Structure 1
Amino acid sequence: MLIIYHNPRCSKSRGALEQVQQFATQNQLDLNIVDYQKTPLDLMQLTELHQLLQADTTCSVRDMVRDNEALFDTLSLQQADDDSLLQALAAHPQLLQRPIVRFNNRALIARPPELLDNFLQMS
């Protein structure tokens, strides 16, 4: 199963979605497109996603957070620990970095979308 956590209003996310759809079609894979703002991830799902992101890269919980959003400052998350950041992501899905692609027990923050090429081929 190939999953993309997607925001249709984001051009980078739309670009990644095109790549993922093409890869899924070529490889006859099921693709689950999750608009994470309409279907937010809960704390357990976010924790699992972080573990997958961390498996291949040095991705921290902080890397999962869009710190350029005004809400990040409003919630005073600059010095927050990992648990607080995950709770903020669960409560405020717009803070989740996008797009995130999950495939074969691996995950990647696909910014820029070109990172997907190697990720999908290696999975």
Structure 2
Amino acid sequence: MIQIYHNNRCTKSRQALQELEKSGQAFEVIYYLETPPAKAQLEELIKKLNIKPFELIRKGEKIYTENYKGKTLGDAEWIDAMVENPILIERPIIVSENKAIIARPTERIKEILR
């Protein structure tokens, strides 16, 4: 089943949710700010995204600019930062069985819906 890591306050996330609804495919909405992923889940998600943890960080967030900007952290430390502060996780993330994408731009959803 397809999953979307969703933040309803985010325009891009709302657009991605609408695209999934239009697709007619079954999907699960994960409100990751309310139920943040555990460290193991986040590690698996990053693996499916095929990116480095730092690439999943939202660099415009206040918590990033105040606490992390300019710091050189290892992959495990960036993952810990996202576990502690899920607002740092880029969104929306769409996940299928073995693949995940950051749906920015929204058209990237087609990569999952094929």
Superposition TM-score, scaled by structure 1 size: 0.86
Whether the 8 Å contact between 2:94 and 2:112 is mirrored in structure 1 is: no
1:11 matched to which residue of 2?
Answer: 11
Deviation at 1:62, TM superposition (A): 1.1
**Cα distance in 2, alignment partners of residues 64 and 44 from structure 1:** 15
Whether the 8 Å contact between 2:13 and 2:91 is mirrored in structure 1 is: yes
Count of residue pairs brought into register by the alignment: 113
* Structure 1 position 98 matched with structure 2 position 91: yes
Whether the 8 Å contact between 2:95 and 2:112 is mirrored in structure 1 is: no
2:75 matched to which residue of 1?
Answer: 82
Which residue identity does 2:7 align to in structure 1?
N
Whether the 8 Å contact between 2:95 and 2:101 is mirrored in structure 1 is: yes
**Cα distance in 1, alignment partners of residues 15 and 93 from structure 2:** 12
Alignment of 1:1-123 (within 5 A): 1-23=1-23, 25=24, 27=25, 29=26, 31-54=27-50, 59-77=51-69, 78-121=71-114
**Cα distance in 1, alignment partners of residues 10 and 108 from structure 2:** 17
Counterpart of 1:108 in 2: which secondary structure? strand
| Deviation >4 Å, runs of 4+ | none
Deviation at 1:96, TM superposition (A): 0.4
Deviation at 1:120, TM superposition (A): 1.8
Superposition TM-score, scaled by structure 2 size: 0.92
Counterpart of 1:111 in 2: which secondary structure? coil
User: 5+ residue gaps in structure 2?
Assistant: none
Identity percentage of aligned residues: 33
**Cα distance in 1, alignment partners of residues 92 and 83 from structure 2:** 16
Whether the 8 Å contact between 2:5 and 2:91 is mirrored in structure 1 is: yes
Q: CA RMSD in A?
A: 1.2
